[in-house]
Amino acid sequence: MRVFLTGGTGFIGHYVAKKLLENGHEVVIATRHPDKIPSLKGAPGVTMVESALLDLTSLEKGLNGCDACIHIALGWGETPFSMLENDTRATVQILELAAMAGCKKFIYTSSTAAMGKMRSVMNETVANLPIDLYGATKSSGESYVLGFRNGYGSKFPNVEMTRNVIRPGYTFGNPAYPDGCTQPDRRFFEMAMAAKNNNDIKINKNDGTQFIHASQQAELYLKLLESDLNEEVFLGLSTTWVSWKEIAEKMIAFYPNSTSKIIETDLGWSNTPMLYSVEKIARTFDLCFDSTALLEEHIKYWANLV
């Protein structure tokens, strides 16, 4: 397939691009920075389209001739309106353009943040209760993607494009290409710097998550792209919950002479972690991710880098 990919030079995006190329697909990458990853730009099967998320002319041109669209790029803002404008509006416009271009498949990248408040059951069937603007934006994007069916006047009398949603959890990883990038969150880097410089590492007590490696996340995108599913939502996380305290301990261990201490702030969080269900990706795609070994590798990466 010829796949249009927004955010393909970003962290998760460049892993997805790599996975698609390895499996024989062509990739058209829409990005504001086409020269960001030279080795990806020069890879066979890659076409770069320089475009911002709201540049409709460039996006329309890039979508021409594509069989599918995977929307990963994030638009950001500092107010409710700017979040709506830069992310939700961009998602809706890309959704429309993909349908008009004749794409048969559309995958939207949401987030576990769309679900918001943690409850005893956290699977794809629970209602979204976002607790911040980012989660609200992603929840809104999901609603437009899943609700875009048939009967929208002469422009969209029939919507034959399948539309599915992936909600990634905390995704980590070393660069997919030598000149690629890692996750934008700086906590691994900050822990490595603290351990190296004998500074204390401050964390919240009982804070952690089901970390998933970007290569594993990319497997989920590929499986969904190559399926015939429609109007489905999938959580992209591993099976294993790991605390930030464990990561801090492993980071300090890489510096035998470090005098760093772990300082925990007690916010009253339970020492029994609340988990997101990953049963659906196991049942649907036979995907079951354990990121333990990859986390060790990533900790080592940062410890050696700083």
Structural domains in the chain (count): 2
Which residue in the block uniquely carries the two structure tokens 């058209």?
Answer: 28
Residue 156 banded pLDDT, cuts 50, 70, 90: confident
- Residue 286 falls inside a structural domain: no
Residue 47 is predicted with a pLDDT of 98
- Residue 284 falls inside a structural domain: no
d(Cα 290, Cα 288) in Å, to the nearest integer?
7
Same domain, 150 and 198: no
Residue 281 is predicted with a pLDDT of 98
Same domain, 220 and 79: yes
Same domain, 80 and 20: yes
Residue 61 banded pLDDT, cuts 50, 70, 90: very high
- Residue 48 falls inside a structural domain: yes
pTM here is 0.96
Same domain, 13 and 148: yes
Residue 122 banded pLDDT, cuts 50, 70, 90: very high
Same domain, 144 and 246: no
Residue 151: pLDDT over 80 = no
Residue 22: pLDDT over 80 = yes
- Residue 251 falls inside a structural domain: yes
Extract the tokens encoding 163: 């539309």
d(Cα 34, Cα 22) in Å, to the nearest integer?
20
The average pLDDT across 163-179 equals 98
Same domain, 104 and 185: no
Residue 157: pLDDT over 90 = no
Same domain, 62 and 147: yes
DSSP single-letter state for residue 129: B
Residue 152 is predicted with a pLDDT of 74
Same domain, 224 and 201: no
The average pLDDT across 65-78 equals 95
- Residue 109 falls inside a structural domain: yes
Residue 158 banded pLDDT, cuts 50, 70, 90: confident
Residue 154 banded pLDDT, cuts 50, 70, 90: confident
Residue 99: pLDDT over 90 = yes
Residue 150 is predicted with a pLDDT of 77
Strands 105-109 and 68-71: parallel
d(Cα 250, Cα 170) in Å, to the nearest integer?
18
- Residue 175 falls inside a structural domain: no
Whichever domain contains 205, its CATH number is 3.90.25
Same domain, 73 and 206: no
Same domain, 130 and 6: yes
**DSSP H stretches of helix in the chain:** 11-22, 38-41, 56-63, 80-83, 89-100, 133-147, 187-196, 214-225, 244-253, 279-285, 292-305
- Residue 285 falls inside a structural domain: no
The average pLDDT across 56-69 equals 97
Whichever domain contains 58, its CATH number is 3.40.50.720
Q: What is the dihedral of CA 107, 111, 117, 118, to 10 degrees?
A: 90
Residue 126 banded pLDDT, cuts 50, 70, 90: very high
Count CB atoms within 10 A of the CB of residue 45: 15
- CA within 13 Å, CB half, 102: 7
Residue 141 is predicted with a pLDDT of 97
Q: What would the pLDDT profile of 195-245 be if each residue is shown by its tens digit?
A: 999 999 999 999 999 999 999 999 999 999 999 999 999 999 999 999 999
Same domain, 206 and 217: no
d(Cα 293, Cα 11) in Å, to the nearest integer?
20
Same domain, 197 and 165: no
The average pLDDT across 240-257 equals 96
- Residue 77 falls inside a structural domain: yes
User: Could you list the residue range(s) of the whole structural domain that residue 192 is in?
Assistant: 181-210+241-274+292-305
